[in-house]
Amino acid sequence: MHAKHLLRFAAVTMMVITLLAACGGPAELADEDMGELVPDLVILSSLPEANLVNYEMAQELADELAQIGVTMDARPTDFSVLLDVLYGEDMDYDAYTIGWSGRVERLDPDMFLHSINHSSNAVAGANNTSRYVNPEFDSLADAQRREMDIEARREIVWQAQRILAEDIPRVTLYSRANVQTYDRTRFSNMVNMSGEGLFNEWSPMVMEPVSNDYTVPIVASNVNITNLNPFAARSVYDWRNLRLIYDKLVRLSPEVQPVPWAATGWQVIDDTTIDVELREGMDFHDGRPVTVDDVVWTYQTWMDLPESYFASFTNPIASVEATDGTTVRFTLHEPYAPFITTTLTQIPILPKHIWENVGDVTQYANENPIGSGPFKFVRFRTGEELVTERFDDYFEPVKVDGYIFKIYASPEGVLTDLELANVDVISYDLIPAHINQIKENDGGRFDHLELTEAQDIGFFYIGMNNNRPPFDHKAFRVAIAHLVDYDYALDVLLDGYGSRGGGGLVINAANEFWHNPEVPIYDTYDPQRAREILADAGFTWDSQGRLRMPRD
């Protein structure tokens, strides 16, 4: 246990006296005249072997809340189970720790503003799992999408960030540095992309084997794949593989420029009409041709799922139609500034001849994914591995013969196999202890490895269900932001490999153009200030030191 926690527990007998002093003494109100007790809470955290920092920070928050008279149970939860809870129909949870990866599509602010904060997405199955609702914010989140002038759009984005910083629908804890590694004696031409790391959508397509004797890289993951159905996938770990099996009309380059891919180009007819030219001669992995009908069916199906993972990016589409054998016309309800870089870069093209007959597409097992991407699915054993092979008929030649996505129970197992050269690339950020071991390279154990680093625009956070007490009180959320020890997260748990969070921060400084450096960020650990905020908002403490809700 961290020394700070031991000191807290040693002082627990003084808690009641401290609380009474903080709220003005015991004589102000009798217990029966106070509001309801703040309910006992549960925070769902990562398993320690999956994300030790999130696990520790959940425990940390539970300890801090105990000091101010609130009971919180920090409950480690398997990642796939956590996703089922957050996206489930019941929406039955209090708080949780999780993160949003900084995939390149998310350099545009629309994901971190509209998709995870707009009230239209505060429903089961959509991405606003904080259930945050603010009409003023919604208006700005909508307005930034319509604004085609980039400077004017940035001003709106900055205003929206200010509201989030003040409302704190979630508490951002930290961003990790993308420190990852690969075996340089076996593969070259690796690309570590900001927010993506090494196992991005480019590296497997451009990496080169050093020898013809070893041409199938083993990619290590410390988190399981949860779903191979694009309509049901929620996790970055799912999508890192799906976007290599399936193709997209546009991809973002390592320089974060939109590159025509399954499309050969596009023409903006006007602010709400875009024509996209489909690349000719492409086939799905089963030999059937990719046609404009597949593209139209795919997008229309996503549009018919208004609460899907990609809802924010397909809801702007009013209609999609084939105007000839190679052209797909998208008509938008209104101008949508990031349509090329967020919608066309994320929606996978699916084979209509397979999917149109499966019934509810969200429930289809998709045990043998058939796409048109650079890699063909071979097999998947949950908790063990996903195996692919090169699609030889792909229009852009790939230099490896496939890849194996190997799933480990813990980072320690990965480190051992890195040392033994049983792993070639990792798909996650190394934990600080392993970074330091590879750097120190005692006895040349890691001579064959190359460390790489990139900035991350993603973030990890404490999510709070803004739709239930006590998190429906803004003051309680602001108090939570003062109970987080950001230095402990960054300096102790991350050993400095990352950047600090704070309050409602969602677009961090690594995303320099869109980040608003002037918003108020509550990034200082100050328990006394948290108590003052609660007292000023009408929260009280009873004779047993338990926190009570404000009276109506």
* pLDDT (0 to 100) of residue 14: 43
Q: Report how far residue 158's alpha carbon sits from residue 434's, in angstroms, rounded to the nearest whole number.
A: 37
Q: Report how far residue 527's alpha carbon sits from residue 246's, in angstroms, rounded to the nearest whole number.
A: 49
Q: Report how far residue 341's alpha carbon sits from residue 411's, in angstroms, rounded to the nearest whole number.
A: 34
Give kind and range of the element (H or E) at residue 453.
Answer: strand 449-454
**Which among 484, 481, 491, 488 has a CA at the least distance from the CA of 1?**
488
Q: Which of 362, 388, 415 is the last residue of a domain?
A: 362
Is the per-residue pLDDT at 536 higher than 60? yes
Q: Which residues contact 154 (CB under 8 A, 6 or more apart)?
A: 513, 514
Same domain, 333 and 471: no
Residue type for position 189: N
With bands split at pLDDT 50, 70 and 90, how would you rate the model's confidence at 87?
A: very high
Distance of CA 94 to the CA centre of its chain: 19
Same domain, 466 and 537: yes
Alpha helices in 246-374 (DSSP H): 292-303, 311-314, 352-355
Condensed to tens digits (0 to 9), the pLDDT of residues 110-167 reads: 999 999 999 999 999 999 999 999 999 999 999 999 999 999 999 999 999 999 999 9
204: CATH: 3.40.190.10
Q: Report how far residue 108's alpha carbon sits from residue 152's, in angstroms, rounded to the nearest whole number.
A: 14
Tell me the residue range of the domain where 323 lies: 250-362
Same domain, 146 and 193: no
**Which among 519, 520, 526 has a CA at the least distance from the CA of 480?**
526
Please, are residues 314 and 308 in contact by the beta-carbon 8 Å criterion? yes
Q: Report how far residue 439's alpha carbon sits from residue 322's, in angstroms, rounded to the nearest whole number.
A: 54
- Structural domain count of the chain: 3
**Which among 158, 157, 162, 128 has a CA at the least distance from the CA of 144?**
157
Same domain, 12 and 155: yes
Give kind and range of the element (H or E) at residue 87.
Answer: helix 79-87
**Which among 64, 98, 36 has a CA at the least distance from the CA of 552?**
36
Residue 75 lies in a domain: yes
Residue 235 lies in a domain: no
Is the per-residue pLDDT at 313 higher than 90? yes
Is the per-residue pLDDT at 13 higher than 60? no
Give kind and range of the element (H or E) at residue 76.
Answer: strand 72-77
Q: Report how far residue 273's alpha carbon sits from residue 36's, in angstroms, rounded to the nearest whole number.
A: 54
Q: pLDDT averaged over the chain?
A: 92
Same domain, 37 and 184: no
Same domain, 44 and 111: yes
What integer is the mean pLDDT of 516-520? 89
Residue 231 lies in a domain: no
Query: If DSSP codes are grouped into helix, strand and coil, which group holds residue 45?
Result: strand
* pLDDT (0 to 100) of residue 520: 80
Residue 355 lies in a domain: yes
Query: If DSSP codes are grouped into helix, strand and coil, which group holds residue 94?
Result: coil
* pLDDT (0 to 100) of residue 7: 44
Same domain, 358 and 433: no
Q: Which of 422, 438, 454 is the last residue of a domain?
A: 454
331: CATH: 3.90.76.10
496: CATH: 3.10.105
Same domain, 14 and 106: yes
Q: How far is CA 394 from CA 205, 366, 398, in A?
A: 11, 22, 8
Count the residues in the chain.
552
**Which among 14, 146, 30 has a CA at the least distance from the CA of 551?**
30
Q: Report how far residue 374's alpha carbon sits from residue 207's, in angstroms, rounded to the nearest whole number.
A: 13
Residue 493 lies in a domain: yes
Residue type for position 379: R
* pLDDT (0 to 100) of residue 5: 52
Q: How far is CA 550 from CA 35, 214, 231, 360, 541, in A?
A: 5, 66, 43, 46, 10
Structure tokens at 414: 């990965």
Work out whether the CA dihedral 111, 115, 116, 118 comes out positive or negative: positive
Condensed to tens digits (0 to 9), the pLDDT of residues 473-511 reads: 999 999 999 999 999 999 999 999 999 999 889 999 989
Is the per-residue pLDDT at 241 higher than 70? yes
520 against 177, higher pLDDT: 177
Query: If DSSP codes are grouped into helix, strand and coil, which group holds residue 132?
Result: coil
Please, are residues 184 and 450 in contact by the beta-carbon 8 Å criterion? yes
The angle that helices 411-419 and 432-440 make with each other, rounded to 10 degrees, is: 20
Residue 238 lies in a domain: no
Q: Which of 306, 336, 362 is the last residue of a domain?
A: 362
Same domain, 55 and 161: yes
Same domain, 514 and 462: yes
Same domain, 164 and 214: no
Q: Report how far residue 285's alpha carbon sits from residue 373's, in angstroms, rounded to the nearest whole number.
A: 8
Is the per-residue pLDDT at 321 higher than 80? yes
Percent of the chain with pLDDT over 70: 95
What integer is the mean pLDDT of 262-273? 97
Residue 242 lies in a domain: no
Give kind and range of the element (H or E) at residue 426.
Answer: strand 425-426
What integer is the mean pLDDT of 96-123? 93
Is the per-residue pLDDT at 523 higher than 90? no
What integer is the mean pLDDT of 1-15? 45
With bands split at pLDDT 50, 70 and 90, how would you rate the model's confidence at 18?
A: very low
Model confidence, pTM = 0.86
Work out whether the CA dihedral 358, 361, 366, 370 comes out positive or negative: positive
Alpha helices in 327-406 (DSSP H): 352-355
Q: How far is CA 360 from CA 83, 364, 374, in A?
A: 20, 7, 27
Condensed to tens digits (0 to 9), the pLDDT of residues 426-484 reads: 999 999 999 999 999 999 999 999 999 988 899 999 999 999 999 999 999 999 999 99
DSSP string, 149-160: SHHHHHHHHHHH
Same domain, 315 and 409: no
* pLDDT (0 to 100) of residue 10: 43
Please, are residues 134 and 167 in contact by the beta-carbon 8 Å criterion? yes
Residue 29 lies in a domain: yes
* pLDDT (0 to 100) of residue 494: 95
Please, are residues 287 and 351 in contact by the beta-carbon 8 Å criterion? no
